[in-house]
Each structure stands twice: as structure tokens, then as C-alpha cells.
Amino acid sequence: MNKTLKRALSLMFVVVMMASMFAGCSAKEETTTAATAATEATTAATEATTAAEPKDPIIVACGGDWLPYAFMEDDKLQGFDIDVWTEIGVRTGREIKFEIIDMNGMFGMIDADKADFAARQITVTEARKEKYDFTDIYAYSPYRITVRNEVEDVTCMDDLIGKKMIYNPTSSSGQYLDSYDPDQTKIERITLDGGSAWEELHLGRVDATFTNYNIFEMQRAKGDYEVKQVGDPVFCEENAYPCLKNSGREELLEEVNAVLKEMRADGTLSELSIKWVGADVTDKDNIKIED
């Protein structure tokens, strides 16, 4: 009996070893064309600045699904956040490795120490500040109530009492909804994982949601949604890049912030904003709401 076991266990051991070799080898082939393209660009730029000794790369987790901050087109990862980080890579002389993962997994990767930063128009919230350190703010995103085109009687939050809205507890929208309706008595909340708030609104499964003024038309047009923004902005996101607190990344954070300051000062940040968002959203005062 022991012989059977030994034979079978050694067989299994061999198989597991083989599997791990395969997985290990293929992990390197694993990077999508998009990520490779991005890192190739960074490496080329880094070589151009002739770094004396190779520094550690920065791993940035991104959802890859958020036009125009970090999205995929023609299999290429691109966007405002992508360009900002690529530039950070050039200026710090570090390679940037983008990890595309389902957006819910971004923070998971940071928690698991598998990524340094996350990028996807992420907001600074009180809850997040307890766990994560953020870079300096690089963009502002005013959010307005969004309803279907035919709805005429909604201009402010109180008009939505008794109605249904999408609720994502960890996001800026969720945080705002909690502050407006802490007892959960005014607004009926629908949680969503993996779907699209735009779809839910368009289809009528919810009555309203919050959308980013800066990119509203861009996204609305892409999906051809018959929805509109109404009223004044209810809250304004401060966008920055999070990294894990107390994980020895303090120096890296300082390095990145120094570069971000440079980019802001010499106008690069504004340039990239205009390129991708269509307007300069890097300064709160620059954002004018026009319907």
C-alpha cells in the first residue's frame, strides 16, 4: 500500500512541477500586447535618459475598461492615467508595468502587495485613506445626477426620494449617497457587480445614477445612451493614485509626487488632460459646468 501511495504521490509531484514550469514560463508571455506596448515605450524612454543602475519597476493595476482614463482600443491599453504613468516612468527612470485586472481586483492586488499603485480615475475617500496613501491629486471630477432623457422633474437630490439608484459602497458615489441618506430611508439602493450603471439607467432598472461631468458626453455617445445630466454637481472627486500604507513605499511615493509636481508645473499634466478628457481637469477652478 505504501508503494502505491509513493508512486502516485511522486507522479503528482512531477505533474505539479511540470505545471508550475509551464505556468512560470507562460507567465512571462502572459503580458497582453497592450501592456507590452506600454512597457516597451517606457523602456525605450528610460534607456534614452540613460539610467546608471536599473531601478525597480512600478507595478500599476488598472481596470482597462474606463474611457478615457484607462481603456483598451484595438488591443492597446491607453488613456489619461496610462499616459500620466508612462511619463512618470520616464521622469523617474523606472519601468512601468501595467496589470489589467477586473476593476474590483485592483485594490485586491494592492492589498496583496502584488501592485504598487492603482489607476482608474480613483477617488480619495476617508475610508480609503485609512488603508492607503494617495499621491498628490492630479485631477478633479465633478459628479452630477443623471437621469433618462424623458425625465423632467428631477434637478436635485431631494427630487429622487423614493427612487432607485445604483449603490457601490466603496466608491465616491457610494460615499456621497451614504452622507445624503445615512439611514437608507430616502433612496432605494441597487448594488451592482460586473454590470454597467449606464445600462441599468438606460434600461430603467434604476431611476438615476451619478456620472462624471468631464467625460459624460464621451461615454454617453459611445454607448448611445438616452440619458442626461441635471442640476448642479452634487460632489467633486479628487483623483489620485493609491498605494498600500505602511508597506515601505514611502520613498517611492515621494519620488512619484515630486515628478507629478514637475509635470503640473511645466504644463505636461494639463496637456495630457486636454488630450484625453478634452479639457483641463487638473485644476478644480478650471472646470466650468456647461449643459
Partner 1 sequence: MFELDFFIDLLFSLPKFIPVTLKLAFLSLMLSLSLAIVLAVIRHYEVPVLNTLTKVYISFFRSTPFISQLFLFYFGLARYVTFIRDMSSTFALVLILGLNTASFMCETIRGALLSVDKGQVEAGHSLGMTNLQIMWHVILPQAVKVAIPPLSNNFINLTKNTAMGFTVGIIDLMGKAKLEAANSFRFTESYLAVLIVYWVMIAAMTKVQSIIEEKLKNKY
The nearest distance, CB 135 to partner 1, in angstroms, is: 22
Q: Which is nearer to partner 1, 43 or 219 (CB)?
A: 219
Based on its alpha-carbon atoms, the radius of gyration of the chain, rounded to whole angstroms, reads 22
Of 282, 287, 284, nearest to 271 by C-alpha is: 282
Q: Which is nearer to partner 1, 22 or 47 (CB)?
A: 22
The β-bridge partners of 142 are 236
The nearest distance, CB 203 to partner 1, in angstroms, is: 10
The nearest distance, CB 161 to partner 1, in angstroms, is: 30
Q: Which is nearer to partner 1, 12 or 156 (CB)?
A: 12
The nearest distance, CB 288 to partner 1, in angstroms, is: 26
The angle formed by the CA atoms of residues 69, 73 and 74, to the nearest 5 degrees, is 160
Residues that bind partner 1 (CB under 8 A): 1, 3-5, 7-9, 11-12, 15-16, 18-20, 22-24, 26-27, 30, 32, 61, 63-67, 71-73, 99-102, 104-105, 108-109, 111-114, 194, 196, 198-199, 219, 222-225
The nearest distance, CB 27 to partner 1, in angstroms, is: 3
163 neighbors 241 (Cβ within 8 angstroms): no
Q: Which is nearer to partner 1, 95 or 99 (CB)?
A: 99
The nearest distance, CB 163 to partner 1, in angstroms, is: 23
110 neighbors 234 (Cβ within 8 angstroms): no
Burial class, 67, CB count within 10 angstroms (exposed 0-12 / middle 13-18 / buried 19+): middle
Q: Which residue has the cell 477586473?
A: 102
CA distance 152 to 50: 60
**Residue 229: partners with Cβ closer than 8 Å, 6 or more residues away:** 144, 145, 146, 211, 213, 216, 291
Q: Which residue has the cell 459611445?
A: 222
Q: Which is nearer to partner 1, 22 or 161 (CB)?
A: 22
Q: Which is nearer to partner 1, 3 or 288 (CB)?
A: 3
Q: Which is nearer to partner 1, 219 or 257 (CB)?
A: 219
The nearest distance, CB 48 to partner 1, in angstroms, is: 29
84 neighbors 122 (Cβ within 8 angstroms): no
The SS3 call for residue 262 is: helix
C-alpha separations of 170 from 46, 126, 167 in Å: 36, 10, 9
Q: Which is nearer to partner 1, 66 or 210 (CB)?
A: 66
The nearest distance, CB 241 to partner 1, in angstroms, is: 18
118 neighbors 241 (Cβ within 8 angstroms): yes
